[in-house]
Structure 1
Amino acid sequence: MAGVVALCAALLVPVISGCGATAEPSGPGGGRPASSVSPSPSPDRAGGGEGTGDTAAGERAAAAARFARWDLKPLPAAPAPPASPPVRTGGGKVPVISEIPTRDKVVFLTFDDGAEKDPEFVRMMRELKVPFTMFLTDAAIRSDYGYFTPLAALGNGVANHTLTHPNLRTLGAEAQRREICGQQRKLAGTYGATPRLMRPPYGNWNEDTRAAAASCGVEAIVLWRESMQITNMQYQRADRKLRPGDIILAHFRGPSELKGTSMTEMTANLLRHVQEQGFAVARLEDYIGRAR
Structure 2
Amino acid sequence: MKKTLALWAALTAVALFATGCTAADADTPDRTATPREAPTSGGPAAGHKTPDAPDARAAAYRKWGLKPFAPAPAPPAKKPVVRAPGGPVPVVSDIPTKDKVVFLTFDDGAEKDPGFVAMMRDLDVPMTMFLTDAAIRADYDYFAPLVAQGHGVANHTLTHPNLRTLSQEAQRKEICGQQSKLAKEYGKRPRLFRPPYGNWNESTRAAAGSCGVDAIVLWRESMQIKNMQYQRGDKKLHPGDIILAHFRGPSELKGTTMTEMTANLLRHIQEQGFTVARLEDYL
Tell me the equivalent position of 2:261: 266
Tell me the equivalent position of 1:68: 62
- Aligned-residue Cα RMSD (Å) equals 1.6
- Which SS does the other structure have where 2:238 is aligned? coil
8 Å Cα contact 1:225/1:247 also seen in 2: yes
Deviation string, structure 1 residues 14-36 (Cα, Å, up to 9, x no partner)? xxxxxxxxxxxxxxxxxxxxxxx
Q: 2:279 aligns with which of 269, 275, 284?
A: 284
Q: 1:177 aligns with which of 172, 175, 184?
A: 172
**Structure 1 vs Structure 2: percent identity of aligned residues?**
74
- Which SS does the other structure have where 2:237 is aligned? coil
2:109 corresponds to 1:108:
no
- CA displacement at 1:42 relative to structure 2: 4.2
- CA displacement at 1:90 relative to structure 2: 3.4
Tell me the equivalent position of 2:241: 246
Q: Which runs of 5+ in 2 are unaligned?
A: 1-37
Q: Which runs of 5+ in 1 are unaligned?
A: 1-36, 50-54
- CA displacement at 1:189 relative to structure 2: 0.6
2:185 corresponds to 1:190:
yes
8 Å Cα contact 1:38/1:196 also seen in 2: no
Change (3 A) 1:38 1:136: farther
In the alignment, the residues of structure 1 paired with residue 151 and residue 58 of structure 2 have an alpha-carbon distance, to the nearest angstrom, of 22
Deviation string, structure 1 residues 185-220 (Cα, Å, up to 9, x no partner)? 000011000000000000000000000000000000
2:42 corresponds to 1:41:
yes
TM-score, scaled relative to structure 2: 0.83
Tell me the equivalent position of 2:119: 124
Change (3 A) 1:169 1:38: farther
- How do 1:199-214 residues align onto structure 2 when only pairs under 5 Å count? 199-214=194-209
Q: 1:235 aligns with which of 230, 245, 257?
A: 230
- CA displacement at 1:69 relative to structure 2: 0.7
- How do 1:113-152 residues align onto structure 2 when only pairs under 5 Å count? 113-152=108-147
Change (3 A) 1:126 1:38: same
Number of matched pairs: 242
**Following superposition, which runs of at least 4 residues in structure 1 exceed 3 angstroms of deviation?**
42-45
Whichever residue aligns with residue 240 of structure 1, its letter is K
- CA displacement at 1:59 relative to structure 2: 3.8
Whichever residue aligns with residue 236 of structure 1, its letter is Q
- CA displacement at 1:118 relative to structure 2: 0.2
8 Å Cα contact 1:39/1:157 also seen in 2: no
In the alignment, the residues of structure 2 paired with residue 215 and residue 256 of structure 1 have an alpha-carbon distance, to the nearest angstrom, of 38
Whichever residue aligns with residue 70 of structure 1, its letter is W
Change (3 A) 1:40 1:160: same
8 Å Cα contact 1:39/1:156 also seen in 2: no
2:156 corresponds to 1:156:
no
Deviation string, structure 1 residues 52-82 (Cα, Å, up to 9, x no partner)? xxx9xx6432222111110011111101111
- Which SS does the other structure have where 1:112 is aligned? strand
In the alignment, the residues of structure 2 paired with residue 61 and residue 233 of structure 1 have an alpha-carbon distance, to the nearest angstrom, of 30
Tell me the equivalent position of 2:72: 78
